[in-house]
Amino acid sequence: MVAQTPRLSHLLETSIYVADLDRAEAFYRRVLGLERFLRDDRMSALGLPGNAVLLLFAKGGSVEPTPTDGGGDIPPHDGGGSVHLCLAIPLGELARWEAHFEAQAVPVVSRITWPRGGTSLYIRDPDDSLLELATPGLWPSW
């Protein structure tokens, strides 16, 4: 008898490790319109639609355990590079996003139409990470 894996709800947090926290936070707030939930010297937490949170960490700032009020430490973590992240957008917002990126002087570095019908726009953040905005029609689930 194989035990079933317990259930997951959804992807809650993902992290980007950045060289300059102020610069990265300013970009995500201005260009994507994200709401700040928390900010300190170590990190910025930005709310995303769909009950998720984008975590921006100062690179090298979380390599020691971080104590918490509730007892227990957040274990060390760190990362780097120009990573890839994708945000879903409604099909009806695609043209508005293209106009918005133009108005914000953020170049769209690639545009792809997928076999399932979705369209992706790619932009770069200040740390050269690759952000994709995608309409429905990429994956079996979406």
Whichever of 17 and 21 has its CB closer to a copy of itself, that residue is: 17
In the list 1, 8, 56, 126, the residue contacting a copy of itself (rule: CB under 8 A) is: 8
Q: What is the nearest approach in angstroms of a copy of itself to the Cβ of residue 122?
A: 6
Q: Is 33 in the site for a copy of itself (CB under 8 A)?
A: yes
User: Which residues 37-96 are close enough to bind a copy of itself by CB under 8 A?
Assistant: 37, 45, 47-55, 57, 62, 68-90, 93, 96
| 137 near a copy of itself, judged by CB under 8 A | no
Q: Shortest distance, CB of residue 42 to a copy of itself, whole angstroms?
A: 12
Long-range contacts of 131-137 (CB under 8 A, 24+ apart): 131/85, 131/86, 131/87, 132/84, 132/85, 132/86, 132/87, 133/86, 133/87, 133/88, 133/89, 133/97, 134/86, 134/87, 134/88, 134/89, 135/88, 135/89, 135/90, 135/91, 135/94, 136/88, 136/90, 136/91
Residue 105 contacts a copy of itself per CB under 8 A: no
CB of 41 to a copy of itself, least distance (A): 17
Question: Letter for the amino acid at 119?
Answer: T
